[in-house]
Structure 1
Amino acid sequence: MSRATTPAAPHTAAPERPADLVLTGARIHTVDPDLPEAQALAVRDGRIVWLGADAGAARWTGPETDVIEGRGRLVLPGFIDAHNHVRLGSDDACVQLAGARSLLDIHARIRAWHTAHPDADWIEAEAFDYSAIPDGRMPRAADLDPATGDTPAFVLSYDVHTAWLNTAALRRLGIDRDHTSLPFGEAETDPETGEPTGFVKDFAVKGLSRDGHRALRTLGVPWASTDRQYGRLAKSLDDAIRFGITTVVEPQNSLDDLALFERARAEGRLRSRIVAALFHPRGTTDADLDDFAAAARRYTGDRLRVGPLKLYIDDVVEPRTAALLEPYTGCRHHRGDTFYPAEEFGDLLAELDGRGFQCFVHATGDRGIRTVLEAVEHARTVNGPRDARHQVVHVECLDPQDTPRFAELGVVACMQPRHCAPEIAGPGQDWAENVGADRWHKAWPMRSLHDAGAVLAFSSDWNVAEMDPMIGIYTAVTRRPLGGSAPWQPAETVDVATAVHAYTMGSAYANFLEEERGSLTVGKLADFVVLSRDILRAAPEDIPRTVADTVVVGGEIVHTG
């Protein structure tokens, strides 16, 4: 078969048989420079077999062909969310603390939930915002106790990087001054008394690991149970399809978690395609790597693929656990730590690169990001250059000296535009205040990276931020709050077409999927979304109100609005 070269290319010969599905009367933005726009397309056996002008669609339409009437609407390739924790949230059994801006509000929400569930063995909550704690400090058990009483409480931060426990939970989990290094995190202690405060850091690194989940289940924390995990996964997968996300990259899984995706596929809930990265915490053995490689060989299908490895070099800016080149604002010396010394991490990445693994490395601080880039450079020196497509995930605070190194080293910038919204990270919020105004120019430098030739792969980081790509695109284009008002660091905005590319072809390339996804091209998988509004032409403030009217995966209509 041959690709149409222009939307109006003439066709005389009839196809060998009609298409299974035909879309007509649309404005198709293909993200393919060889054929940037079309009006119609045809699908057979799950793949695109033709694109062109409406006049050619009749040739592909038979009595059994499903026809989607575009009615002039914008059609895009299905979104590829390059970093989406579909296993993590949100959890209907938890108290929802998103938007709670004070301890009083947190207490009110917890008390209301506890009143409705008086026999609960645990109070569990998610999405608390660090800025809700007074005086810029981290939360303590004493802050929770008035609302929870003697019922143990387990509360996760909005970024799932820290946990907050009350006094009853500290007792239930056996945490005391002699037991603070936990399978699921590091319990902070009071510098004067040595007693645990109730704040647990490094939860994303340890608590979301295989050992961390097992420990929490053994200790009876309901949030970690398999059924609760599956409930979160199934709900998040439904949301992904509703938003037009046809491929989800789940960035942090243990081998145990793969059974959850198998179950979702068996029960018909796996309508989005999945790329599952495996978590490589400190202490991962050669035998573990052999098991990871075996899983990658087993799961190679277009619906469920396993392969990349997820690592951490630092944590997050809000609790001051990201690694910065200079101290945090208001701190004389503290600039955060890396989880590995630089030389050790370089050797580790070289080893993984030498075994052929692609690595996703969480790095938010400028020193953390530089450490990763230097490790990639070291790996290339040791192993020789290869098309590894290692990713720096988040790229929140990037020193300008390091901007060109992404393209030079072939490193993908996997970024989450919503994270840089002023109401989340801007002036008055913990991120901006901890970094300080003299470093705000380093914040999420999307345009600088794009202009320097780096590959941008956009994503939501659900459930840290909203999953909807429309919100991510709006933020990338405006750097404004959802309600409008002043932008923050507008010099780093990108245009809509660039943002769409980052959510489609950029994310496809980042995950070695560009031969079959990311653009609407003859021969590729027929994954696409029909939007309610033409976001390429709409006013930016209208983008968040745009919805997916129709979502197609592999030529099958899986959602209609």
Structure 2
Amino acid sequence: MNRPADLIVHNAHVHTVDDDRPRAQALAVRGGRIAWIGDGDGWRQLAGPDTEVVDGRGRLLLPGFVDSHNHVRLGSDAACVQLAGAGSLAEIGRRIAAWLQANPHAPWVEAEAFDYSAIPGGAMPTAADLDPYTGDRPAFVLSYDVHTAWLNTAALRRLGITAGTDELPFGTVRKDPRTGEPTGFLTDFATRGLSREGHRALRAAGVPWADPERQYGRLCASLDLAARYGITTVVEPQNSLDDLALFERAAAEGRLRSRLVAALFHPRGTGEADLAEFAAAGRRHAGDRFRVGPLKLYIDDVVEPHTAALLEPYAGSHSHRGETFYPPEEFAEVLTRLDAAGFQAFVHATGDRGIRTVLDAVEHARRVNGPRDARHQVVHVECLDPADVPRFEALGVVACMQPRHCSPDIAGPGRDWAEAVGEHRWSKAWPMRSLHRAGATLAFSSDWNVAEMDPMVGLYTAVTRQGLAGGEPWMPAETVDLATALRGYTLGSARANFLDDRLGSLTVGKLADLVLLSADLFELDPRGILDTRVELGVLDGEVVHRAG
């Protein structure tokens, strides 16, 4: 006779995300796997004296969330000035002043999450904008998307950035077109500053944000959030080989309460020796709890500072379309080489020309290597030309998307994203419904800490395309229904990361990763999604979060 179950949840709305059995009322876990799913009182025969029995009280039981793009290593740094929501330079100044009062001996002013729209007139920030608030103390400020860095005059001096400096290991120096002097604004921070060489250069320059202990603190805080939000699998999309020690430490110290898939950063110029190291790291870390393997590449940057690659010029410009980081032919050859070696590629692409360049490269790889189940991902898919929508399914490419990014209070009318592309391209913005209808695999995620980690925020935005305060939806024709959104955060993301054989749905035999919510989302007005919390989070059959 089989031994009793370890955990039973009954009297629940069990939304399985399994098309063979879409819903049930009860579920039993034994030995870290789902042992039984059924209705009524059938669970009673599996209960024993040591079984934990949870009355679901009609609430929603789901597979654990799989956050397919979550920068837990970057996290949110409690030691920084927090600029999220600061809508003006004056407000930025007030927050810096308060931080300086609390940290009078700090060697640097460090801040994160500034919004481009805080700078008047759609301009990019300058050192002169920061200087009145920071004085002679060097300042290092990251944008909300971590794609740009903002320095004051003292930081330019400390880092040795002059009119003769064009490229740094951690960014591209923007110059005043009239004087040729550095403005204090660095682009390409995500592709340089988060690289192995960039991080080492920042540490060598004495920027405290890059210190390994600060990194570990951010990681642990983010992992705690993930457990609280029912995220049982995190995909950390961009790491160097140096960073793997942080995850190893977290696992050894019991801080890793979610499964973690770590992608390794593949900057332009990565050679065969690097690929051999990446493959070796993948062999070392190939377990169910911590896996290393995919490679992260960039084809373009971001729309707001006009560094994404568009098919047509930016609004208000006669010729500027942004640039790709690789010529298309070179990128096609790079992806083909990685595909032939068996790597999965996560490619950051936000502009319609950037996305098309990636799809063209995958098509080239298939012609050269033959088709295989590679599950290459286009990450973000912010501005997609309709002609390229069906190519995702045809090429087996995953659309890894962040629903919160398309919220009108982040990207919509009057915001930098919408103004940069122009109203004639708004119909291309985050076309989730079009991709779903065309058969593409949607993998949803938070992109923490670019946006909130809580999956409820992403689910709400996916089904409403409204801001968190409500109001008019932006491009509502591209909303998806709740079941589709939930699939994107569970089975879709599991499939995107080769985990769907054991995760992503509540199916007998799969690993017991599941969450019990405080309400049944299917019974709520969409606004109620935002008030819903995870009551119980289970990983491998073990409770890792229980609401107090």
Structure 1 residue matching 2:399: 3-state secondary structure: strand
User: C-alpha distance in 1, partners of 2:329/2:375?
Assistant: 21
User: C-alpha distance in 2, partners of 1:156/1:253?
Assistant: 18
- Which residue does 1:6 correspond to in 2? none
Match runs of 1:259-270 below 5 Å? 259-270=245-256
Among 101, 119, 126, the alignment partner of 1:140 is: 126
Match runs of 1:81-480 below 5 Å? 81-480=67-466
User: C-alpha distance in 2, partners of 1:46/1:202?
Assistant: 43
Match runs of 1:492-511 below 5 Å? 492-511=478-497
Deviation at 1:54, TM superposition (A): 3.5
Q: Which runs of 5+ in 1 are unaligned?
A: 1-14
Give me the TM-score of the superposition, normalised by structure 2. Answer: 0.99
Structure 2 residue matching 1:269: 3-state secondary structure: coil
User: 1:252-304 CA deviation, whole Å, 9 max, x = no partner?
Assistant: 01111111111111111100100000000112110010010011111111100
User: C-alpha distance in 1, partners of 2:526/2:11?
Assistant: 24
User: 1:185-235 CA deviation, whole Å, 9 max, x = no partner?
Assistant: 011111111111100000000000011100000100000010000000000
User: C-alpha distance in 1, partners of 2:54/2:262?
Assistant: 32
User: C-alpha distance in 2, partners of 1:230/1:177?
Assistant: 35
Among 512, 515, 523, the alignment partner of 2:509 is: 523
Deviation at 1:170, TM superposition (A): 0.4
**Greater CA drift, 245-254 or 32-41:** 32-41
Q: Which runs of 5+ in 2 are unaligned?
A: none
Deviation at 1:537, TM superposition (A): 2.3
User: C-alpha distance in 1, partners of 2:358/2:34?
Assistant: 39
Q: Kindly provide the amino acid, as one letter, of the partner of residue 465 in structure 1.
A: A
Among 32, 35, 47, the alignment partner of 1:46 is: 32
Q: Is the counterpart of residue 558 in structure 1 residue 538 in structure 2?
A: no
Structure 2 residue matching 1:43: 3-state secondary structure: strand
Q: Is the counterpart of residue 16 in structure 1 residue 6 in structure 2?
A: no
**Greater CA drift, 432-441 or 112-121:** 112-121
**Greater CA drift, 489-498 or 179-188:** 179-188
> Which runs of at least 4 in structure 1 moved beyond 6 Å after TM superposition?
none
Structure 2 residue matching 1:293: 3-state secondary structure: helix
Among 33, 53, 58, the alignment partner of 2:44 is: 58
Structure 2 residue matching 1:200: 3-state secondary structure: strand
User: C-alpha distance in 2, partners of 1:389/1:495?
Assistant: 24
**Greater CA drift, 503-512 or 21-30:** 21-30
Deviation at 1:21, TM superposition (A): 1.4
User: 1:161-197 CA deviation, whole Å, 9 max, x = no partner?
Assistant: 0000000000111111112310000111111111111
Is the 2:296–2:346 contact (alpha carbons within 8 Å) kept by the matching residues of 1? Answer: yes
Q: Kindly provide the amino acid, as one letter, of the partner of residue 415 in structure 1.
A: M
Structure 2 residue matching 1:156: 3-state secondary structure: strand
Structure 2 residue matching 1:353: 3-state secondary structure: helix
User: C-alpha distance in 2, partners of 1:319/1:349?
Assistant: 27
Deviation at 1:427, TM superposition (A): 0.2
User: C-alpha distance in 2, partners of 1:41/1:385?
Assistant: 39
User: 1:11-33 CA deviation, whole Å, 9 max, x = no partner?
Assistant: xxxx5111111112111000011
Structure 1 residue matching 2:41: 3-state secondary structure: helix
Q: Kindly provide the amino acid, as one letter, of the partner of residue 432 in structure 1.
A: A
User: C-alpha distance in 2, partners of 1:27/1:426?
Assistant: 35
Structure 1 residue matching 2:343: 3-state secondary structure: coil
User: 1:449-497 CA deviation, whole Å, 9 max, x = no partner?
Assistant: 0000100000000000001111101001001111111000000000000
Q: Kindly provide the amino acid, as one letter, of the partner of residue 454 in structure 1.
A: A
User: C-alpha distance in 1, partners of 2:54/2:287?
Assistant: 27
**Greater CA drift, 362-371 or 39-48:** 39-48
User: C-alpha distance in 1, partners of 2:537/2:55?
Assistant: 13
Q: How many residues align?
A: 547
Structure 2 residue matching 1:545: 3-state secondary structure: coil
User: C-alpha distance in 2, partners of 1:435/1:236?
Assistant: 33
Structure 1 residue matching 2:410: 3-state secondary structure: helix
User: C-alpha distance in 2, partners of 1:426/1:382?
Assistant: 40
Structure 1 residue matching 2:111: 3-state secondary structure: strand
Is the 2:58–2:520 contact (alpha carbons within 8 Å) kept by the matching residues of 1? Answer: no
- Which residue does 1:9 correspond to in 2? none
User: C-alpha distance in 1, partners of 2:546/2:50?
Assistant: 20
Q: Kindly provide the amino acid, as one letter, of the partner of residue 182 in structure 2.
A: P
Structure 2 residue matching 1:424: 3-state secondary structure: coil
User: C-alpha distance in 1, partners of 2:35/2:287?
Assistant: 21
Structure 2 residue matching 1:76: 3-state secondary structure: strand
User: C-alpha distance in 2, partners of 1:493/1:272?
Assistant: 29
User: 1:408-439 CA deviation, whole Å, 9 max, x = no partner?
Assistant: 00000000000000000000000000000000
Q: Kindly provide the amino acid, as one letter, of the partner of residue 470 in structure 1.
A: M
